[in-house]
């Protein structure tokens, strides 16, 4: 199942554009054991997490584990090995999910694997509307928080143009003004969806 997931990721990321945000987060995960990627819908949180995990696999031999629930961690954790766990939409996809939060809290699973395994890393993504500083305290996490909306990490105009070029035909790109490109934080998702629909047609 994990191999199938990684194959799907590779296909999804065929047009991924490396940005200053993805580079910065990649540097942080090499220094820290836990990174939380925060952003609104469509800003590229999941794609960034998957890209970074694949880079850790290709460059440092990490095994990637996509964890949907706490039991995935207990099932796949291998002490003494290089592993990176990806937890997408941590504690809720569209809104805060208390039941899901409780399931992660009861272990506390993330704290346990990070405190007992020096070679384990965790990358989690969370919507900006769900994340708050108390989350780290509740789950006993020491996370390097990467907010994709900060001046340091938000997409530049050039990066946005490059993303458009990766997904869209040149005729479409030339018709889009800079004011439009810079307006939407969910541009990465928008380009991907538009490209998919164009291919289907």
Q: Note the pLDDT of residue 199.
A: 46
List Cβ neighbours of 135 (8 Å cut-off, separation of 6 or more). 91, 126, 141
Can you give the residue ranges of every domain in the chain?
2-154, 155-194
**How many whole angstroms separate alpha carbon 7 and alpha carbon 117?**
27
CATH fold of 2-154 reads Rossmann fold (3.40.50)
Burial 61-92 (b: 16+ CB within 10 A, else e): ebbbbbbeebebbeeebeeeeebbbbbbbbbb
Q: Note the pLDDT of residue 200.
A: 42
**How many whole angstroms separate alpha carbon 38 and alpha carbon 53?**
16
Q: How does DSSP assign 16-79, residue by residue?
A: ----HHHHHHHHHHHH-SEEEEEE-TTSSHHHHHHHHHHHHHHHH-PEEEE-SSHHHHHHH--T
Three-state DSSP class for 130? coil
For 84-122, how does the pLDDT look when each residue is reduced to its tens digit (9 = 90+)? 999 999 999 989 999 999 988 887 678 878 887 888 999
Q: Note the pLDDT of residue 1.
A: 53
Closest CA to 163 of 4, 1, 10, 20: 20
Closest CA to 38 of 118, 129, 120, 121: 129
**How many whole angstroms separate alpha carbon 84 and alpha carbon 188?**
24
**How many whole angstroms separate alpha carbon 43 and alpha carbon 41?**
6
- Region for residue 142 given its phi and psi (left: phi exceeds 0; alpha: psi -120 to 50; beta: otherwise): beta
State which residues of the chain have pLDDT below 50.
Answer: 198-201
Q: Note the pLDDT of residue 75.
A: 87
| 8 Å CB contact between 123 and 53 | yes
Q: Note the pLDDT of residue 197.
A: 58
Predicted TM-score (pTM) of the model is 0.90
């Amino acid at each position: 199942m994990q191999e199938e997931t990684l194959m799907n990721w590779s296909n999804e990321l065929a047009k991924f554009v490396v940005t200053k945000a993805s580079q910065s987060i990649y540097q942080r995960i090499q220094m820290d054991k836990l990174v939380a990627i925060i952003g609104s819908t469509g800003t590229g949180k999941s794609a960034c997490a998957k890209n970074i995990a694949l880079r850790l696999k290709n460059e440092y031999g990490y095994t990637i584990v996509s964890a949907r629930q706490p039991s995935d961690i207990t099932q796949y954790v291998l002490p003494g090995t290089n592993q990176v766990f990806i937890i997408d939409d941590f504690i809720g996809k569209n809104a805060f999910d208390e039941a899901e939060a409780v399931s992660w809290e009861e272990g506390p699973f993330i704290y346990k694997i990070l405190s007992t395994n020096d070679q384990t890393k965790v990358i989690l993504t969370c919507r900006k509307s769900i994340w708050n500083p108390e989350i780290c305290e509740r789950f006993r996490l020491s996370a390097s928080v990467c907010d994709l909306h900060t001046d340091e990490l938000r997409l530049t105009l050039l990066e946005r143009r490059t993303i458009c070029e990766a997904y869209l035909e040149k005729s479409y790109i030339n018709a889009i003004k800079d004011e439009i490109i810079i307006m939407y934080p969910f541009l990465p998702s928008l380009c991907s969806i538009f490209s998919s629909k164009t291919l289907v047609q």
